[in-house]
Amino acid sequence: MSLTAHIPSHRKPRRNASKIALRAGVAGGVLSTIGVAGAAGPANAEPVTATIEMPTITAELASTVAVSAEATQQVAHAYDLQAQQDAAAAKAAKTAKKEKAEAERKAEAERKAEEAAKKKAAEEAAEKDAAKERASRSTERTTLSASASVGSSVSTGTGSAATVVAFLKAQLGDAYVMGASGPNAWDCSSLVQAAYRTVGVDLPRVSQDQSLAGTQVGTSNLQVGDILYWGGAGSAYHTGVYIGDGQYLDAANPSKGVVIQDLSGYPATGAVRVL
């Protein structure tokens, strides 16, 4: 045995040649990559950390893209067509609404014109009737006055009372106006005075004095032509003339005018007889 056999050798073991070659190749690849990166960009460029792979354009992919573009174009066309249809419908609705409003306005104007024409025709007809009535009353009054002028100053009997009543009925419908004395408006005492004047009887103008004219008679024993009064004798506030069958004729008030009324509805206080 050698004297130095127990002393460990200071020589490094020999490495495998293949491993050394592999390591050298890896190192060389890394160094070459670093060199390329340094040459391609500035010294402070960030290192590349990811790799993007672009898809390979094939015939099938190109066909799919073309179909998708065509479908998008069809949808856009459909939306444009729908928008045009909606605009046309809105315009048509607006036009129809305007035409309907115009038709309704014309119909309302025609209706009003027709109503105005009917109203005017009715007013004209009423005016004609009123004119005829006034003419008739005027003729009747003239006849009554002529009859009275040829009679005695104070006539008695049915004929005189009938003349008074006829004159009064000729005034039916005339207006009541305080202080008026004909020919188309009266108050109560002026109407009674005018009626008796047709037979030659000259009565006082006011109700108080008329209630004292002639002979006092009870309201239970009335005759046609008797003068009725309301209130006390000498202080009466209203007068009328009894025309028979429990009725009297008077110029009642502004709302009624000259009318015939029942004594049962408004009994008289007393009566005087002048015929």
pLDDT, tens digit (0-9, with 9 covering 90-100), for 229-253:
999 999 999 999 999 999 999 999 9
Residue 122 banded pLDDT, cuts 50, 70, 90: confident
Contact by Cβ (8 Å): 258, 251: yes
Helix (H, G, I), strand (E, B) or coil at 16: coil
Q: What is the pLDDT of residue 33?
A: 45
Q: Which helix H or strand E contains 133, and what residues bound it?
A: helix 59-149
Contact by Cβ (8 Å): 213, 203: yes
- Mean predicted confidence (pLDDT) in 224-231: 98
Q: What is the pLDDT of residue 47?
A: 56
Q: What is the pLDDT of residue 220?
A: 92
Q: Name the percent of the chain lying above pLDDT 90.
A: 49
Residues 129-160 pLDDT 10s: 777 766 666 665 555 544 444 333 333 345 79
Closest CA to 272 of 205, 225, 231: 225
Judge whether residue 164 has pLDDT over 90: yes
Residue 55 banded pLDDT, cuts 50, 70, 90: low
Residue 61 banded pLDDT, cuts 50, 70, 90: low
Instruction: Give the fold, CATH level 3, of 151-273.
Output: endopeptidase fold (from Nostoc punctiforme) (3.90.1720)
d(CA 54, CA 48): 17
Residue 31 banded pLDDT, cuts 50, 70, 90: very low
d(CA 181, CA 189): 9
The reported pTM is 0.47
Strand 215-217 and strand 227-230: pairing? unpaired
d(CA 166, CA 244): 13
| CA angle in degrees (0–180, nearest 5) for 18-24-25 | 90
